[in-house]
């Protein structure tokens, strides 16, 4: 199981004047800003277009992502790609990342079971998200699920109440001074893993697509 050492935060590993996402990714590979690095296979950094119009932010990498080092390539990622296609969003306009860059899990036999990142993990990893946004400067931020929503929009965020509608950014951000971007918007929706867990998966999937259609219209 992951240790519970108090996170020191990622700031000392973030290059102060990074010129590219690739430079950030390279530096993040050595990050020890919280205890999750010790048990995870590797840092899973964001990927996609450096001049993306839309940035998707999820919670953390899962087991498959941890093994391969890429975000959203497991079952939830495949479902998200299908939803993006159905919503009419050009994948070439996207960048996708997570609020936390290491996989948090507990062992049950040989299985690694997902554990939701805590506030300390989110705070520790925040400098990486800030650095990504400083380079990307997107038109729209799509927040996937409750954990990412609380990480970026504050502890009062409720995905069931705020999903599917455009909100101002960075005014809506928890710490707007951290994000040197302006005149963009945020939109929250459910995490694709919630669709996979839903009793009525078809209805949940259509709801996700409907939310992403709002995002598609916002950047046309």
Number of H helices and E strands in the chain, helices first, is: 8, 8
88 sits in the region (left: phi over 0; alpha: psi -120 to 50; else beta) called left
Are 24 and 45 spatial neighbours (Cβ–Cβ below 8 Å)?
A: yes
The pLDDT tens digits along the chain (220 residues) read: 344 456 789 999 999 999 999 999 999 999 999 999 999 999 999 999 998 999 999 999 999 999 999 999 999 999 999 999 999 999 999 999 999 999 999 999 989 999 999 999 999 999 999 999 999 989 999 999 999 998 888 888 899 889 999 988 755 555 655 665 556 899 999 999 999 999 999 999 999 999 999 999 999 7
Beta bridge partners of 96: 47, 56
pTM to 2 decimal places: 0.91
171: number of Cβ within 10 Å: 9
């Amino acid at each position: 199981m992951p240790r519970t050492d108090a996170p020191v935060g990622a700031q000392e590993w973030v290059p102060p004047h990074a010129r590219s996402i690739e430079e950030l990714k390279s530096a993040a590979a050595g990050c020890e800003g919280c205890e999750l690095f010790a048990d995870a296979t590797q840092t899973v950094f964001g990927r996609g277009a450096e001049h993306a119009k839309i940035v998707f932010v999820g919670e953390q990498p899962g087991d498959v992502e941890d093994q391969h080092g890429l975000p959203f390539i497991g079952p939830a990622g495949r479902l998200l790609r299908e939803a993006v296609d159905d919503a009419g969003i050009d994948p070439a306009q996207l960048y996708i990342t997570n609020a936390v860059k290491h996989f948090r899990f507990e062992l049950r036999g040989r299985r690694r079971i997902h554990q939701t990142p805590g506030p300390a993990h989110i705070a520790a990893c925040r400098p990486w998200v800030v650095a990504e946004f400083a380079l990307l400067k997107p038109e729209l931020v799509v927040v996937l699920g409750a954990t990412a929503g609380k990480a970026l929009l504050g502890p009062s965020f409720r995905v069931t109440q705020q999903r599917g509608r455009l909100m101002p950014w960075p005014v809506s951000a928890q710490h707007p001074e951290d994000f040197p971007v302006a005149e963009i918007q945020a939109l929250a929706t459910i995490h694709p893993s919630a669709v996979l867990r839903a009793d009525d998966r078809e209805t949940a999937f259509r709801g996700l697509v409907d939310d992403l259609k709002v995002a598609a219209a916002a950047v046309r």
